[in-house]
Structures are given as structure tokens and as C-alpha cells.
Structure 1
Amino acid sequence: MSEMEGAPHQGTQKRRLQVNPETLRLVPAEKRDFWEKLAEDVEINIASQFGKRWTMLATLTVILATPDETYEDIARTLNRSPGAVRYRRQAMIHLLRDEHAAVDRVKAYRSDPKTFHKYSDYAQVAEALELLGYFDLPVREQFALAAPLGQPSKSWRGDGSSAALAQRRDRDGSLKQEVRRLLDEARPYSKSA
């Protein structure tokens, strides 16, 4: 039975309930304030189309983009996140190259959209590729069209993690020092138990 048929993932184990029998300690207010202030430093920019249904026009915009365009450029045009644009583009690449069971995902979605709703993005991209006649092209041309867009670095995934890591590296380190101090302060309590 394949994953698409509902088989559980290999290697997953049941989680055990972990009970901490120690009595709870109250954390002084000044230490709680430090952790609560961390939330104020977080800044999230959300695209206006985040979580909204993709139109065929928006999907075609991603498919017809040329490799000299970047994920950020297309994302700005569509009011989407670069990661969402990258996901659509990767679906296109996987379908044209017939990789990662992309064609099977589309077939599964078309056979039962309710059960395989998580493959709806691939199905819409496949529909757009069919409308454009990309599947009728010779394989050599399909592979030539299956190119990613420009990205800031090779490891970029579009989820914002690289920007978050860069921002973290640029900080003065005071957060790291404060966490180390708190951990050092907490160690005598854990050894006495």
C-alpha cells in the first residue's frame, strides 16, 4: 500500500508520556518578563494572498515565468510569499520531469479530490500545463522548461528560515548570553533532584 493510500509512515513510533514528578517552582517575575519580551521582537510580514485560493491566472504566471525572474519578483506581482511561488514552480518542475510521484499525486487527486485534497496544488499546476500543451512537447523541451527561478542562494527554500538565521547571526548576542546565564542558574536545581 502506498503513502497515498493512507499507509502510516515507516519508522514512526508511539510517543511516551513523560511525567515530571518534581514539584513546580515559581519563576520570579523578572525572569518571566525576559521571555515575554522575546515575543515583542518577532516581526512577521504576511502576503495579502496568504492562505487564499490560487487562481488559474496566478498559476499560469508562475509557470510562464522565465528563469531570469526571481521568486521574490513573482511573489510581489501575485501578493504571495516567495515560498508559495516556489512550491508551485517545484510542482511544475516535478510534473514536467515526472519526478517524486508528481503524476501519481495528480491522478490520486483526480480520482478522489476529497481524500487527496493535499495534492490539489499539483492538480491545478497539471491542468495549467495541459492547457498550455506542455505535456505534448518533446521530453527535451519539457526538461528545458522545467527550470527553477532565481533565488538568493543555493540553500534558499522560500520559507524565510535563511533570513531568520541571518538576522539571528547579526544580533549582538545578548539573547544568547541571557539564555546561557539562565541555564547556568538553573543547573544547580536540576542536579539536586
Structure 2
Amino acid sequence: MSEMQGQGSQGVSKRRLQVNPDALRLVPAEKREFWEKLAKEAEINIASQFGKRWTMLATLTVILATPDETYEDVADALNRSPGAVRYRRQAMIHLLRDEHSAVDRVEAYRSDPKKHHKWSDYAQVAEAIEQLGYFDLPVREQFALAVPLGQPSKSWRGDGSSAALAQRKSRDGSLKEEVRRLLDEARNFSTTS
């Protein structure tokens, strides 16, 4: 094996891992404690059906839900997230109103499911709508059925981001101040070392 193997024409190594010759700086235990505590306080609620295949019955439940029901009500009944229910309901609305190339998405999936696998949800919703006979109804009746469910607020998107933003705004700011203080200490520590 030659000396130049693994090196460029100018003798510079192409390795991705670079060696840092500086001395390793350790963070004092009292500063680490805050970050370790912060990591332990995170709590995530995940629906029991998250990531599982949708059954035709669950899809029909979303389609047959009345506008006075909320996404959260239907999600709780199905053990799904409100965002997942919203996605299915929006697929139904797009298909009934023939919006956003929804019908083309279904046709693409049916022509080649492997290539267009990302439209499988739309295809299942379309199948359920066909079984219910909604596509045979007059357009006026289809539009009357194509109504979103109740939302907690106008800006709700179903992905949890609005709730996260509301929680962040409602906090007393002590966590933010502590993070700023630690960052300032870290900057001062790095400049004095």
C-alpha cells in the first residue's frame, strides 16, 4: 500500500474526520445539570395508532364525521393525531371539489402504486368515497359534504405547532433567561480560555 493512498494529489488527506489538536474543555457539573434537567422534562404524547396502516373503517369514520365534530374528537375516537385526521378529511374535500389535482393523484397511484406511493392515502379516501356513492351525487351535494371539521382556532394546522407556540408565549420567561445566562457564561468562558 503506498503512502499517498487515501490522499489527494497535493498530499492533503480526504478524511472527513478532522483531528482537533486543542485541549478538551470540560463543562463544570453545575452547568451540565441545567441541560440534563431540561432534557428530562420533555414529554411527548403520541397517538397509539401513529404510523400504523389506516383501515377502511377508520377512513370512513373521518369521511362520515359531521362538521359539528372537531378533528380532536374524531382523532380521540380513532387513537390518531388530529393532524392525521385533518389530512384524510382534506383529501376527501379535495376529491369531492376536484381541487389541487386530487383526482390525478388517485389515478397516478392506481396506475403505478410503487412509483406514486405517496398518494396512497388519497387513493384509499377515493375508494371510500366511491363505496359511499358520493361521486354519483350532484356537484351541489358533493360540495355540501366537502366541509372541514371544527378547529380549535382559525390558525390551527393539525401539526401541533400552534400549541407549541402558545405554550412558548405563555411561559414566564425564566427558562429563556436561564438559557441566555448560560450562553453568556459559555461565551465568557471561551474568550478567557
* CA positional deviation for 1:66: 0.8
Question: Which residue in 2 is equivalent to 1:161?
Answer: 161
- Give the alignment of 1:17-96 within 5 angstroms: 23=22, 25-96=25-96
- For residues 138 and 93 of structure 1, what CA distance do their matches in structure 2 show? 15
* CA positional deviation for 1:188: 4.5
Question: Which residue in 1 is equivalent to 2:178?
Answer: 178
- Bigger mean CA deviation after superposition, 158-167 or 85-94: 158-167
RMSD of aligned Cα (Å) = 2.4
TM-score (norm 1): 0.81
Question: Which residue in 1 is equivalent to 2:123?
Answer: 123
* CA positional deviation for 1:39: 1.8
Question: Which residue in 2 is equivalent to 1:148?
Answer: 148
* CA positional deviation for 1:182: 2.2
* CA positional deviation for 1:124: 0.2
Q: Secondary structure at the match of 1:121?
A: helix
Unaligned runs of 5+ in 1: 1-16
Relative distance call for 1:122 and 1:26 in structure 2 (3 A) is same
Relative distance call for 1:189 and 1:103 in structure 2 (3 A) is farther
Relative distance call for 1:38 and 1:133 in structure 2 (3 A) is same
* CA positional deviation for 1:64: 0.6
Amino acid at match of 2:83: G
Q: Secondary structure at the match of 1:106?
A: helix
Q: Rg: which structure is higher?
A: 2
Relative distance call for 1:174 and 1:107 in structure 2 (3 A) is same
* CA positional deviation for 1:169: 2.2
* CA positional deviation for 1:26: 3.2
- Identity, % of aligned pairs? 84
Question: Which residue in 2 is equivalent to 1:5?
Answer: none
Unaligned runs of 5+ in 2: 1-15
* CA positional deviation for 1:177: 0.2
- For residues 169 and 121 of structure 1, what CA distance do their matches in structure 2 show? 35
- For residues 97 and 105 of structure 1, what CA distance do their matches in structure 2 show? 14
Relative distance call for 1:140 and 1:57 in structure 2 (3 A) is same
- For residues 130 and 159 of structure 1, what CA distance do their matches in structure 2 show? 28
- For residues 58 and 38 of structure 2, what CA distance do their matches in structure 1 show? 37
Output one character per residue of 1:76-116: Cα deviation in whole Å (capped at 9) or x when no partner.
11111111111100111111112222112111111111121
* CA positional deviation for 1:29: 2.8
TM-score (norm 2): 0.81
* CA positional deviation for 1:126: 0.6
- For residues 154 and 22 of structure 1, what CA distance do their matches in structure 2 show? 54
* CA positional deviation for 1:37: 1.4
Q: Secondary structure at the match of 1:47?
A: coil
- For residues 22 and 162 of structure 1, what CA distance do their matches in structure 2 show? 45
Amino acid at match of 1:88: R
- For residues 186 and 110 of structure 1, what CA distance do their matches in structure 2 show? 57
- For residues 142 and 32 of structure 2, what CA distance do their matches in structure 1 show? 57
Question: Which residue in 2 is equivalent to 1:107?
Answer: 107
